[in-house]
Chains A and B, each alone.
Chain A
Amino acid sequence: MIQRSQLDLRKFVVPEFICGHGALQLAGRYARNFGMKQVLLVTDPGVRAAGWAGAVGESLVEAGVSFTVFDSISVNPRSRQVMAGMETYLAEECNGIVAVGGGSPMDCAKGIGIASSNMRDIRTFEGVDRVPVPAPPLICIPTTAGSSADVSQFAIITDEERKRKIGIVSKAVVPDISLLDPEPLTTMSRDLTVDSGIDTLSHAVETYVSNASSPMTDVHALEAIRLITSTLPAVLEEPDNLNLRFSTLLASLHAGLAFSNASVGAAHAMAHSLGGAYDLVHGRCNALLLEHVMAANYEAEPERYNRIGAIIGRGGATPAEKVAAFRRALGVTETLAAVGVREDAIPALAEAAYNDPCMVTNPRNFTCEDIERIYMYAF
């Protein structure tokens, strides 16, 4: 376990962001200000069907910026999708990217950016600080409140051949600006709202107990926990309430600012492994793992976990039990076995999680056997 001190060196990188109702309509102005002439508008079919890609496109047209839509993106974006996007970017002679959507389009957009600026396969960037040439200007308009990809230094891409997620961690993938508008969140389904909300909570909890946390990240992590636990149940009741949606968006922003600088921990490492192997929704993986990781980590950071528990409030005796109660209250009741995970796959999942970069900032140094046990608790 790493002993922490407030005198430890820490860095805090914050991208430019604009939040509030109507922020989406500024996409064209900022694209023009970044010198974009031909934009690759990266989105997914769902977001396009909901009309948000079209709204951003109108903003670009009004600003006199041409664009090409690339929406061949699935949940857990694939390396081939990134490379197809890169080909479109180059073929259309684009000079900037606007991403509209959740974590998948935004991570894919980051991948397209660095692959095209470096002219390399996206899988070669796996790891930390392995992007020599920064991506072209990237504007993000999140339509979910959870991934925080619009402000983070992470891009998670699924390597289809190896059936695992690769983590690309670099300041070079931090977007240039995020336009945080609550309105696109109103078209999220209940499940997506829950999964992305628990993703926010997982980011905030894991950052707060991260061995790389700092006073700056603590502020944002705790505010994120407060906002998401207090508003997520309410927003499920009133999905069209822009104030509630904005609170979840702010929660995601706070969590993003925190985890982009202090990183996350074992729950995310294990969720990446799980999502890569079974193509499961990232937020749902975190929902099924977080409480078990919290329990396993508790002894390393009891005070911090207790503070998290205090913010969540009711639901159990321990912070982990409170998180478990929170997710059950949101309707997330399944186990890993229920979502199709095979017990004999757990050692391989544990090994992949052990090698995930997120694991190095976990408050406890887990062995593979420790990780296997945590998977089994969630099984």
Chain B
Amino acid sequence: MHSESPEDRDALREKIIGLGETSLHKSYYPELQSRLAELERFRALLDQTYDAIFLIRADTGKLADINASARQYLGYSREELLAKPFIDLISPQQKAWLVEFVQKSGDQLSKPGQTFTAPLVSRSGTEIPMEITVRSVTFGAEQYVVAVARDITDRIRTERELRIKESALESSTNGILIADLTGAVMYANRSCAAMFGYERADAIAGRNLEAFFADPTVGEKVTVHLLANPAIVQETVGLRSNGSPFHIQISGSVVQNDAGQPLCIMLIVMDITDRILNEQMKRETYAQLGKNIEQFAILGDHIRNPLQVIVGYAEMIDDPFAKRILEQARRIDDLVAELDRGWVESANVRQFLRRHGEGVEPSEEVFFHFSNRKQEDI
């Protein structure tokens, strides 16, 4: 340190004398200003939050401080709010309950997370549903309660809408299954549970889709298909909890988040056993009808051939009864002609039924069909 220059020592001496740039008398003011600026910054931060923050004097219940959101929600000026007890801001129906809550909470208020919901009443009288978290704090020797109120208007509306949607799902006469992307069932409504023979809907949750189809690969195939396509409609064979098969139609789609990423799949399941059996019965009836029509045509020919012989013989004989035989033969021929016309009409009816799909092949609208079972196998 021998190298310290005279200039350095002169500068040091100046500072020791008190003439240095920062050789100032001890003053708390710059630090005070710095702390005040810090507080201002913190207040600005609090004012930016959407939550309404109230500092309440524990002894009087009056407000000691509030942030900007509290003023904006309630429509009072800061001065007006600071003159009010916090309880006056609570909906009249909830006041007694809140007093009881605070008394019951007691020491618990010093711990975080004491939360209740109650409407706050704005200057205009509007009740704003709020979730309010309270905590007891001590500043210096003063006891306060900090209440942070969050507007839950949107949340309540969303919850109500969600409940309606849940009720709609639950009360649907169609079975509804929601499964994750691995095929594990997350939700099944009552109809679905009943359809598959389960006593309770929650007995289905957690099972894999393969448990619900006679062909266990159907669940996986449906999932794979839905990850590549927007929807699927398919008729297949379901499997009840007791192992008995039944006809179902499934309509599936993928549920996506806002970013378009798949979250889960939803299947609407309809029991189509009655329809399938009806169709089968119609097909059989129609086939019988065709057979009958053909038999009518053959029967007409079978009748006409001997009738032609009878007419031939009758024309060859000269007998007073021949005329009457010919008359009866013509009547029989008319009857056969009548039967022929009936056969043509029946053929037209069959043509009409074919054209309009009654009792014929399944719907042309099926997008996808896995089952290699023939209709007549079931």
Cβ-defined contact, B12 with A128, below 8 A:
yes
In the complex, which of the residues A153, A261, A357 contacts B12, with contact meaning CB atoms closer than 8 Å? A357
**Within the complex, what minimum Cβ distance (angstroms) separates B5 from chain A?**
12
How many Å lie between the Cα of A261 and that of B25 in the bound state?
A: 12
Bound Cα distance from A172 to B31, whole angstroms:
12
Q: Which residue of A lies closest to B15 (CB)?
A: A128
> Of A133, A137, A176, A354, which one neighbours B1 at CB under 8 angstroms?
A354
Residues B27 and A134 in contact, CB atoms below 8 Å apart: yes
Considering the chains assembled together, what is the distance between the CA atoms of A171 and B4 in angstroms? 24
Q: State which of A7-15, A220-228, A291-299, A322-330 sits at the interface with chain B.
A: A7-15
Contact of A360 among B12, B23, B25 (CB under 8 A): B12
Chain A, interface residues (CB within 8 Å), range: 20 to 34
Question: At the interface, is chain A mostly helix, strand, loop or mixed?
Answer: loop
List residues of B (13-57) whose CB comes within 8 Å of A's CBs: 13, 15-28, 31
Q: Is the CB of B16 within 8 A of A128?
A: yes
Which among A2, A171, A360, A368 is the interface contact of B18 at CB below 8 angstroms? Answer: A171
Interface residues of A in 71-127 (CB under 8 A from B): 117
Residue of B nearest to A8 (CB): B17
Q: Are A360 and B27 in contact, with the CB atoms below 8 A?
A: no
A173 to chain B, nearest CB (A): 8
With A354-B2, A355-B4: A134-B28 Cβ-Cβ less than 8 Å: yes
CB-based contact A129/B2 at 8 Å = no
Q: Is B140 an interface residue (CB 8 A)?
A: yes
Interface: B9 (CB within 8 A): yes
Task: Report the minimal beta-carbon distance from A279 to chain B, rounded to whole angstroms.
Answer: 23
In this assembly, does A211 line the interface, its C-beta being within 8 Å of a C-beta of chain B? yes
A130 to chain B, nearest CB (A): 9
Among the listed A37, A134, A261, which residue makes an inter-chain contact with B31, where contact means beta carbons less than 8 Å apart? Answer: A134
Q: Which of chain B's residues have a CB closer than 8 A to the CB of A263?
A: 16-17
Q: Which residues of A contact B16 (CB under 8 A)?
A: 128, 169, 212, 263, 357, 360-361
Interface centre among B1, B18, B25, B31 (most CB of A within 10 A): B18
Structural contact, B19 and A11, CB atoms closer than 8 A: yes
CB A137 to nearest CB in B, in angstroms, measures: 8
A30 to B209 CA separation, bound complex (whole angstroms): 80
On whether the beta carbons of B26 and A261 are closer than 8 Å, the reply is no
CB contacts (< 8 Å) of A135 on chain B: these are 26
- Does B1 contact A360, Cβ atoms closer than 8 Å? no
Closest-CB distance, B109 to chain A (whole angstroms):
22
8 Å CB interface, B86-121 against A: none
Residue of A with least CB distance to B27: A134
Structural contact, B9 and A171, CB atoms closer than 8 A: no
The interface residues of chain B lying within 8 Å CB-to-CB of A271 are none
Residue A308 is within 8 A (CB to CB) of chain B in the complex: no
Does A262 interact with chain B (Cβ within 8 Å)?
A: yes
A172–B12 CA distance with the chains assembled, in angstroms:
16
The number of residues on chain B lying at the interface, defined by a beta carbon within 8 Å of a beta carbon of chain A, is: 24
List residues of chain B with CB within 8 A of the CB of A170. Answer: 23
Partner of B2, one of A128, A176, A368: A368
Q: CB-CB contacts of A167-196 with B at 8 A, as 1s and 0s?
A: 001111110100000000000000000000
Closest to B1 in A: A355
B9, B22, B141 pick with most chain A CB within 10 angstroms: B22
Which residue of chain B has its CB nearest to the CB of A173?
Answer: B26
Indicate whether A240 reaches chain B with its CB closer than 8 angstroms.
no
Q: Which of B12, B23, B26 is the one whose CB lies under 8 Å from A134?
A: B26
Q: Quick check: B31 and A11 within 8 Å, CB to CB?
A: no
Q: Tell me, in angstroms, the Cα distance from A10 to B23 when the chains sit together.
A: 12
Q: Is the CB of A11 within 8 A of B28?
A: no
Q: Which of B12, B13, B17, B31 contacts A133 (CB 8 A)?
A: B31
Contacts A134-B28, A212-B13, A263-B17; is A171 near B23 (CB within 8 Å)? yes
B26 pairs with A176, CB closer than 8 A: yes
The complex places the Cα of A211 from the Cα of B9 at a distance, in Å, of 12
> Taking the nearest CB of chain B, how far is it from the CB of A3, in angstroms?
13
Q: What is the chain A residue whose CB lies nearest that of B23? A: A129
Cβ contact within 8 Å between A171 and B2 = no
Cβ distance B171 to chain A, nearest Cβ, rounded Å: 61
Residue of B nearest to A137 (CB): B28
| A321 surroundings in chain B (CB, below 8 A) | none
Q: How far is the CA of A164 from the CA of B103 in the complex (A)?
A: 61
Establish whether residues A171 and B13, one from each chain, have CB atoms under 8 Å apart when the complex forms: no
Within 8 A of B (CB), among A249-295: 261-263
Given contact pairs A134-B31, A354-B2, A129 touches B19 in the complex (Cβ within 8 A): no
State whether B26 touches A10 (Cβ < 8 A): no
Neighbouring B residues of A354 by C-beta, 8 Å: 1-2
Alpha-carbon separation in the docked complex, A354 to B2 (Å): 8
B4 contacts across to A, CB distance below 8 A: 355
**Contact of A261 (CB < 8 Å), options: B1, B15, B18, B141:** B18
Assess the A37–B140 pair: CB atoms within 8 A: yes
Given known pairs A171-B23, A172-B26, the reply for A11 and B17 (CB within 8 Å) is yes
**Are A11 and B1 neighbours in the complex by a CB distance under 8 Å?**
no
In this assembly, does A351 line the interface, its C-beta being within 8 Å of a C-beta of chain B?
Answer: yes
Chain B residues in the interface with A (C-beta under 8 A): 1-2, 4, 9-10, 12-13, 15-28, 31, 140-141
Extra inter-chain contacts (18) besides given A11-B23, A171-B23, CB under 8 Å: A10-B17, A10-B18, A11-B17, A11-B19, A37-B140, A128-B15, A128-B16, A129-B23, A134-B26, A134-B28, A135-B26, A137-B28, A153-B18, A169-B16, A174-B25, A212-B13, A361-B16, A368-B2
Q: Which A residues lie at the B interface, using CB under 8 A?
A: 2, 9-11, 13, 37, 117, 128-129, 133-135, 137, 153, 169-174, 176, 211-212, 261-263, 351, 354-355, 357, 360-361, 368
**Across chains A and B, which 7 residue pairs bring their CB atoms closest together, nearest first?**
A11-B18, A128-B15, A355-B1, A360-B13, A212-B17, A263-B16, A360-B9
User: Can you name 25 A-B pairs with beta carbons within 8 Å?
Assistant: A11-B18, A13-B18, A128-B20, A129-B20, A134-B28, A137-B28, A153-B18, A171-B24, A172-B24, A173-B26, A174-B25, A211-B13, A212-B13, A261-B17, A262-B17, A351-B2, A354-B2, A355-B1, A355-B4, A360-B12, A360-B13, A360-B16, A361-B13, A361-B16, A361-B17
